[in-house]
Structure 1
Amino acid sequence: MIKKPIIGILVSILFLEDGLFSGMKKAAVSHDYVQAIVSAGGVPLLLPAIDDEESIKAQLKQVDGLLLSGGYDINPLLYGEEPLRELDTIFPEMDDHHIRSANIAAALGKPILGICRGLQVLNVAFGGTLYQDIAAQCSSKCLKHFQKGERHVPTHTVELTQNTVLSQIFPKDSIVTNSFHHQSVKEIAPGFIVNARAKDGIVEGIEKREGSFIVGVQWHPEMMITQSPDMLPLFRAFVEAAKKTVVVSSFEK
């Protein structure tokens, strides 16, 4: 029997603001990510934020692939910029864990899929920069990148770069996606290429030029597959890549 790959999902840190437990930190992630991995044939495992490097390595050695989930803005000091007034909430503890996890997972040869903030984490982790706020820093012709429609509804077109991993997953010139972001890639990290753009030129996807499967998308495919299978091929490709690095646990030896 072939072992299903275990996919580590990095979770967000939330602060409880009201009631008896006000001020308590909570580790949480949208169930849409969990269901997307299950639907693609993987086994999801939630990975909470920790600050000890050896413990992070131990986390990642137990999984076959890493999913970088969405969440807060990234601290611009991490890519050499001062904060603009349009910058939203940041959480340095989460930035540290996610960036270190991305670097360690890549060094271990683990496949990585970054979604929304997760794409931005990939770019910053490997030396790229971000637009802190698209509307403030880009031209007046930029599209609306934070939709008001339901989360699964596609609201703009994404044009795919041919001869990329992403274009092999979606063998067409363009796809339609949802959109829930106000930040985006500015300078792409060394060793990465752009695999998708919106019609206003905003980067909607990146991937590692060589080596293991490391792909980031700016939209939320996990939300879209709650109503349509159109985005499922992305998760299936990720899980298939993870099968090649399956870890045999001590229980199975």
Structure 2
Amino acid sequence: MSANIGISASILTDRDGMFPGYKRCYVNQDYIEAVVKQGGIPLVLPITDDSDIIEKQIDMLDGLILSGGHDVSPALYHEDPLEKLGETLIERDQFDFQLIKAAIKKNIPILGICRGAQILNVYFGGTLYQDTSYRELNTIRHWQSYNPTEKTHQITIQSDTRLEKIFNETSLYVNSFHHQLIHELASNFKVNAYTNDRSIEGFESKGHQYIVGIQWHPEMLWRESSMDVLFKDFINQTESM
């Protein structure tokens, strides 16, 4: 039986064209293709503030993917906005928080990608660097503004982690599209991958529930086999519950 995989959507506001300011529900097609390739049934979850609807959204799901998008509001981790903070969308932050809460209650697997990893960390009490430049250590470039399938930096996978079992590798090259970083990791998680500048590139739950957060964009690499194992492991976990 195929697993229903929810993918959190965002809101895209038209900047020009026929309807400037018009809001659209959207999620990048790559997330859908990555799920379909592994036999899952993708269900896009539009933003709403209705908690009853959110509960019903999660009730339909076997697994939840928290997708990328806007910067997470620093108000959620008790900081004021700094100069290099990007565009935020508090409606989405609140929606994702409710999705996470309901998914934890139902005990379904959660995969957070880029912003999705960051919102998971903040939900559980962690913090973020609002921009890589605010990190005290020298930091490599984590934002590539060109080919989304080009792998631009290396990650080192930590031993005795789920990520090590998934990839069966100690290091990988990945693509990168984030200017915020994990600062303080929530106590619920352990690091499963670092970059060469010792930035946290991935983490996973210490508990029994499958929660994995990664900063790169494996869905953009769905056409090649290198990232299949990640989505396969996630969807297999939904089917074993």
TM-score over 0.5 for the alignment?
yes
| Aligned equivalents of 1:214, 1:230: Cα separation in 2 | 21
Contact 1:103 1:126 in 2 (8 A): no
Contact 2:33 2:222 in 1 (8 A): no
Q: What is the 5 A alignment of 1:97-246?
A: 97-139=95-137, 141-226=138-223, 228-245=224-241
Please, which moves more after superposition, 36-45 or 12-21? 12-21
Show the counterpart of 2:11: 13
% identical equivalent positions: 42
- Output one character per residue of 1:149-207: Cα deviation in whole Å (capped at 9) or x when no partner: 41011111100111111111011111110111000111111211111010001110011
SS in structure 1 opposite 2:173? strand
How far apart are 1:233 and its partner, in Å? 0.3
Gaps of 5+ in 1: 246-253
| Aligned equivalents of 2:118, 2:26: Cα separation in 1 | 19
| Aligned equivalents of 1:103, 1:37: Cα separation in 2 | 22
Q: What is the 5 A alignment of 1:22-33?
A: 22-33=20-31
Partner of residue 34 from structure 1, selected from 32, 36, 39:
32
How far apart are 1:123 and its partner, in Å? 0.3
Show the counterpart of 1:83: 81
- Output one character per residue of 1:4-25: Cα deviation in whole Å (capped at 9) or x when no partner: 0000000111111223322121
- Output one character per residue of 1:99-120: Cα deviation in whole Å (capped at 9) or x when no partner: 2211220121010000000000
Partner of residue 52 from structure 1, selected from 45, 50, 53:
50
- Output one character per residue of 1:22-55: Cα deviation in whole Å (capped at 9) or x when no partner: 2121110110000000111111000001101121
Give the TM-score of the pair, scaled to structure 1. 0.93
Task: Flag as ranges the 4+ runs of structure 1 deviating above 4 A.
Answer: none
| Aligned equivalents of 1:21, 1:124: Cα separation in 2 | 34
Show the counterpart of 1:249: none
Contact 1:47 1:59 in 2 (8 A): yes
Q: 1:46 is matched by which residue type in structure 2? A: V
Q: Calculate the aligned-residue CA RMSD, in Å.
A: 1.0
